[in-house]
Structure 1
Amino acid sequence: MQKRTSRLALAAAGVTVVLWASAFVSIRSAGTAYSPGALALGRLLAGALVLGAVLLIRREGPPPRAAWPGILVSGLLWFGVYMVVLNWGEQEVDAGTAAMVVNIGPLLIALLGARFLRESLPPRLLAGMAVSFAGAVAVGLSMSGEGRASVLGVALCLLAAVAYAGGVVAQKPALAHGSALQVTTFGCLVGAVACLPFAGQLVEEAGRAPLPATLNMLYLGVFPTALAFTTWAYALARTTAGRMGATTYAVPALVVLMAWAFLGELPGPLTLLGGALCLAGVAVSRSRPRGAGAAAPSRTPEASSGPGGRRESRTR
């Protein structure tokens, strides 16, 4: 049973990484017609509608009171601040610079997880993250253009990384009390409410935006938000925040492959090397010392017993 749960969690994390990688392509298209706040609000509204419908179909009510502090903080930081600030930052700097700065996020998740969640920092995790970060820097350098970086853009991307890390660490305790679907749905709603000041911009820009841009915004809401954030929460409930953060270092490598396959952007040697390092680092960070598999502490009690456990059992 434990092995099956681990495989499901790994598969869920894989779905998340692939869909988050695809989001970069969609953001590039939608961002030409929508301002940062409007794009974030449109994406969150689409995601909230899909998640709310699934929640009703599954007859899951609101999460228990104990889950709300984490939902509110993660909803505000991750679904709200992160999405708006990242959209804005990517308009101020090139994609490579943005990728390098935002990839500080997983390192911050590991440090904050150790500080506030009392998670351990195994040597393999730290080594894997170091290798992956070096790969992300290589990918970023290979994709960086000339003359597009700005102090404001770098600061915005750094703020996005901090908001991302804070949101993940806040979400982890909430998953001990609510299901992945509950925590994601109401976190998305909190983010949408926080972005309501951009409603006027969204209405105005939607009226003149080309159809492909609007379709990309809807795609961002349904797949990289509604589906990917739910599979992320499912996997996060079954492992540590640090290990989940390290998994996202596979995103730069997948972005390179997707840009190659769908946009015809041929990667150079430095880009390929960076992508390989990202994947190698993820493999190292998620590996366990030989003979440690049976003794490894289970992260599933909180999802298999008590109120949160009963909710999770219905979401599988």
Structure 2
Amino acid sequence: MSATAPLRGAPAAGPPAHPARSSAAPVRRPALDWRLRFTTLCLIWGFSFLLIKVGTQGYAPLQVTLGRMVFGTAVLGAVLLLRRERLPRGARTWGHLTVAAFLLNALPFTLFAYAELTVSSTLAGICNATTPLWSMLLSLAALSDDRPTRRGVAGLGIGFAGVLIVLGAWRSLTGQGIGHDATGTVLALVASASYAVGWAYVRRTLANTGGSNLAMSASQLLLGTAQLAVVTPLFTSFPTAFPVGPLLAVAALGVLGTGVAFLLQYGLVAEIGPTRATLVTYFIPVIATAAGVALLGERLTWNTPVGALVVLAGAALTQGGARRAGRRARTWPALRPARRAPLRLPGSGPQP
């Protein structure tokens, strides 16, 4: 989720230990061109909503979420071992990671899974695109160190107007209903808002920990998996059957959507910068809509794509639609901005 919070700050490479030797060392370039990896990331996150829908056809929402977390943690854990990186230390860091795991992984992943029991994967994908709008709303509520500009406020209004268009809100005035399950829609929107809250929390609490992106992210997923491992047995019964289709969907959701996608995102931010990398946000609902209609036979009315375009336009306006608060601005001590760029953690980007 991703959802999106803006991508901020590509990871900076440290100074070489031997400057004289580093100038002669060959530059290692990724085997795949960044455009191909960018397209792959868009497809992975766009198809994630379809995979959630398929997964919930065979397993309970909490089981789908737990499964994707287990597979995603396994991917990052394996890469962590190959690179011989260590997990972060310090009880305080692990405490903040526990909160981040809940806000950025366990909660939104579960809410999206429950939402897709009653709403289409298309609608869920569009709701996911509202995360920048929630981030701007948090800025207005003085929960951010960024002050919204007029452009950002305009984007907020336009974006939420797009949500009303997607839902067909005018139908409720004629007694026809909005055409979508209200509970499922609210769950998907709350999931998107959770990404925004979690990202703000990460920026303020985990920016100066000194751990690598990979180590911090693997730790966060591990904690989220532990949270779900405790909760899931309390609210679900052990599956009596393991249908292959939904099981493969959950595995793909975890391995690709939660594990591989993070590695692709991290590499893109490092190579092409956060500005171009964040463009993935605007392709996710388009791909989610195309996948839902073409492969799941979901019904598409005119207001859904039109509203989605309005939502994306509003989200685009909110990007950069905030300015840093001045030094004299009054903030709560616990909400003062960190000086370093925040770490990229799974769920803090535009993923579902």
Tell me if both proteins adopt one fold, taking TM over 0.5 as the criterion. yes
**Mapping of residues 259-274 of structure 1, within 5 Å:** 259-263=292-296, 267-274=300-307
Measured after TM superposition, the shift of residue 88 of structure 1 is 1.8
Q: Deviations over 1:131-183 (max 9, x none)?
A: 344334433449x9977625x54554454344332222222342443332222
Measured after TM superposition, the shift of residue 255 of structure 1 is 1.6
**DSSP 3-state at the match of 1:190:** helix
In structure 2, runs of 5+ residues without a counterpart are 1-8, 13-33, 172-176, 323-336, 345-352
- The residue type paired with residue 221 of structure 1 is G
Counterpart contact for 2:149–2:321, Cα < 8 Å: no
Q: Which residue matches 1:33?
A: 58
* 1:275 to 2:308 alignment: yes
Q: Larger % of helix: which?
A: 1
Q: Which residue matches 2:200?
A: 169
Q: Which residue matches 1:74?
A: 100
Instruction: Work out the CA distance in 2 between the residues paired with 1:184 and 1:273.
Output: 36
* 1:302 to 2:340 alignment: yes
Counterpart contact for 2:62–2:228, Cα < 8 Å: yes
Counterpart contact for 1:80–1:192, Cα < 8 Å: yes
1:59 counterpart (84, 102, 105): 84
Q: Which residue matches 1:218?
A: 251
**Mapping of residues 282-301 of structure 1, within 5 Å:** 282-286=315-319
Counterpart contact for 1:89–1:157, Cα < 8 Å: yes
Q: Deviations over 1:17-64 (max 9, x none)?
A: 543321111111111001011111111000000010011112221125
Higher Rg: 2
Instruction: Work out the CA distance in 2 between the residues paired with 1:263 and 1:93.
Output: 13
* 1:44 to 2:76 alignment: no
Q: Which residue matches 1:204?
A: 238
Q: Percent identity?
A: 26
1:255 counterpart (265, 280, 288): 288
- The residue type paired with residue 64 of structure 2 is L
**DSSP 3-state at the match of 1:120:** strand
TM-score (norm 2): 0.64
Counterpart contact for 1:55–1:181, Cα < 8 Å: yes
Instruction: Work out the CA distance in 1 between the residues paired with 2:115 and 2:321.
Output: 37
Q: How many residues align?
A: 287
Counterpart contact for 1:97–1:141, Cα < 8 Å: no
Q: Deviations over 1:91-122 (max 9, x none)?
A: 24555665676665433323335734412323
- The residue type paired with residue 200 of structure 2 is V
Counterpart contact for 2:68–2:254, Cα < 8 Å: yes
**DSSP 3-state at the match of 1:168:** helix
Which range moved further: 23-32 or 76-85? 76-85
**DSSP 3-state at the match of 1:91:** coil
Which range moved further: 38-47 or 220-229? 220-229
Instruction: Work out the CA distance in 2 between the residues paired with 1:27 and 1:190.
Output: 21
